[in-house]
Structure 1
């Protein structure tokens, strides 16, 4: 019996267990953060559920600082190990869902729910790959650890703690990318622009809000403005929406106060071309009016300088490396409050040949009238590359080709996975090339058939790497 047919027998059980994980809204929650719940109570609930499954199925397991859970199979005293690096946290659901994001459903062969693509489904496929090998009584020479984090979508404060306490696996892969093998990952860095926000002139920008994560293309933007008496902008906004049919929005006006809401297309910030940034589109609309002071500078920067500029050409940062590809830019968070503090978060993904200082310098040079201080808000990650002739890369490539009948050469990704924290770590699955990418988007889904397709690929890969 083939790996695929063996895995298919586990489909119903896999979906049942996956449902339990997806129902837990494991989003970073500052309101319930304590020393015992470092990223919120729902993260602990999610880790506990995985430990419950591990206990049920007879695996060894443990926890690190209430940030990570590991589940182990194979000889405990093996000198070499294979790590499967995953995370159970997800980004906020956001707007635009046609179904409840934390009430998973299967419709027309598709599994819907937050985490279906990134990455609870792939976590469960990897877990069931271990379960199938254990059920078959397979004897491994390397120890395998499924390592589950809770801060991948935010500050990556978890995996370094694990590696410091438990040590680095000999090699590893993270099913947090795409098939076949992603042996290179671009650097990523978020920089913040902070500036005064005092409006002047006949139009006053009272408030502007869009986005809540640097690594997500914002799908919604809101603004509140004061306009001169008798001025109506509803007709202009209607014309704007007609010009851009992929956008939706509404406008409310009471006397001189106007409230605007614009809906774009949310997407993963690693691939900004997949989304329509509601924040920069709303700024693009508003900049036609005579705002003054910091408001006009803010709107011009968002609405012209970096609007639709995913390769940062207008910032003087257009750069492409032959091996790793082009630098990209996502504008993830935009805030403006009259007589307060404004800020913008820019998330860059870049190949070898670019560095943080060059990014900061070029942003400073191209801010126009925006009087902003530019700083990096957290430690970024350098470019990561594993040689194509490494045993890890070649074996995973061979398994994927054997099971799918299609060889795909190793490649570089804009995304960032925990695999980059290992000297010999690559991203591997579970996004198949023929499936729409819905990570971080509303109505996130994965085909049901791919749950066990991924499981079969992971199972054979583990077996071959650990013989």
Structure 2
């Protein structure tokens, strides 16, 4: 049967855009202050999961709210095809030109936190399901769209889904939380805390960062009043072209350093305000340890402290300092570490502690993911992407980012970021081109249909 999937999805265009806009308007950042047993990730995430659950119920899908850890939307009978997406978003930082939770459309581009990571792709997958269901194309297989509520801060949602609720793993699965054509490998992901005792007698406190998996775009330092500080800041930051603000008070001074946010898997694309602040403090107070630790991490691959690794498929290590804190002579850096298939993070921990620059403690080991690039599932999805887009040159990918693919089995990341488009997830003015949003719907519809028929 030859099916024109673009034609199949065309009637849903306007409805799908409005549905996404309304979803973007829900602030679904993890919120500890509104967290309860019934709302495990806070009010905003609960509202976002409930929004998509309500829509799906109205459209006749089977819906399981999964203790409000996830929303599971399913239809059909047979072997399971699963899609895993998420409704939670990272915090809003930096200067936005559009309302972060507005869903405003300008020149065929929708702006807002979650448009590309991951509400836009999730809604595209939902309308793919809706089109298949309404055209009787979910036949002989079962499909589930699982919308999680905690992907950005630990994936407790899918841990609950698989290990507490004992939901089945799929025959084939994908997550629309990566790049096209497809991603067959993901770096291992772990984190570590780097503590260092330093003597900065005039510094009261340092704070920087919102999430460990984002580059710090703003860092603040409170000092006891020092009349020399203002000129020192001007001299230092003008040389390295870093924006800052200095606020002088009678008893205390404040320095705010501005950088550029980026995803924690790509620290080289950002400007880490926290590390540049530490670099300044090391220079101003002649503290070699503070200068050294800033230099270590400003080169984000680990080369500066001999903890660089490079794999055949998953490429280079990256170290992103996502959180910085200083109080009472204790400097704490929380680092997001991503590593290739030939790296053992326990070896890195040992090597770093042997360097005797503070103490390093790793936590939360997440192994690398590698799927055979010649498997039937990979070849099928790659062919679908090529035929639906006409792009026969972009190769299969591996990434440093972590997706839901590593939480499931027989699952990879498949879109929805298209080659050549600017990727600004976790950054101000996050956006999705409506053309891409609509094209991904037809790609996902065909993918679900063909995986359902794949033996």
Q: Is the aligned partner of 1:457 residue 2:447?
A: no
Q: TM-score, normalised by structure 1?
A: 0.92
Give the match's secondary structure for 1:191.
Answer: strand
3-state DSSP of counterpart to 1:363: helix
The one of 345, 349, 353 aligned to 1:364: 353
Equivalent residues of 2:126, 2:145 under 8 A apart: yes
Change (3 A) 1:184 1:255: same
**Measured at CA, do residues 27 and 197 of structure 1 come closer, stay the same or move farther in structure 2, by a change above 3 Å?**
farther
- Number of the residue aligned with 2:452: 466
Query: Counterparts in 2 of 1:115-154, with a 5 A limit?
Result: 115-154=114-153
Of residues 279, 285, 290, the one that matches 1:290 is 285
Give TM-score, length-normalised by structure 2: 0.94
Supply the distance in 1 between the matched residues of 2:75 and 2:236 (Cα, whole angstroms): 57
1:253 aligned onto 2:238: no
Q: Is the 8 A contact 1:171 1:422 kept in 2?
A: no
Deviation at 1:423, TM superposition (A): 2.9
Aligned counterpart for 1:313 among listed residues 303, 307, 315: 303
Preserved contact between residue 295 and residue 304 of structure 2 (Cα < 8 Å):
no
- Out of 270, 273, 277, the residue aligned to residue 275 of structure 1 is 270
Aligned to 1:36: 38
Residue equivalent to 1:186: 187
Deviates more, 1:3-12 or 1:427-436: 3-12
Q: What secondary structure, in the 3-state scheme, does the structure 2 residue paired with 1:7 have?
A: helix
Shift of the 136–158 alpha-carbon distance from structure 1 to 2, 3 Å rule, reads: same
CA drift at 1:156: 1.5
1:234 deviates by 2.3
Give the match for residue 228 of structure 2.
Answer: 232
Distance in 2, matches of 1:27 and 1:431, equals 22
Contact residue 193 and residue 335 of structure 2 kept, 8 A:
yes
In structure 1, what is the equivalent of residue 318 of structure 2? 328
CA RMSD of aligned residues (A): 1.8
Could you tell me how far apart the structure 1 residues matched to 2:428 and 2:336 are?
A: 21
What is the CA–CA distance in structure 1 between the aligned matches of 2:62 and 2:334, rounded to whole Å? 41
Cα distance in 2 between the residues matched to 1:109 and 1:241: 38
Cα separation, 1, equivalents of 2:139 and 2:84: 19
Kindly provide the CA deviation profile for residues 86-134 of structure 1, in whole angstroms up to 9, marking residues without a partner as x: 1110010112112221111001121100001111100000001101111
- The answer (yes or no) to whether the contact 1:331–1:344 under 8 Å persists in 2 is yes
Counterpart residue number, 2:20: 18
- Partner Cα separation in structure 2 for residue 445 and residue 71 of structure 1: 25
What is the CA–CA distance in structure 2 between the aligned matches of 1:57 and 1:328, rounded to whole Å?
44
Q: Which runs of 5+ in 2 are unaligned?
A: none
User: Are the counterparts in 2 of residues 199 and 338 from structure 1 also a CA contact under 8 Å?
Assistant: no
Gaps of 5+ in 1: none
Aligned-pair CA distance for 1:196 = 4.3
Q: What is residue 385 of structure 1 aligned with on the other side? A: 370
Equivalent residue, structure 2, for 1:401: 386
Q: How many residues align?
A: 448
Query: Which string of whole-angstrom CA distances, capped at 9 and with x for unpartnered residues, describes residues 7-64 of structure 1?
Result: 2432211111111211111111111111111111211111111111101111111021
Q: Shift of the alpha carbon at 1:376?
A: 2.0
Deviation at 1:239, TM superposition (A): 3.6
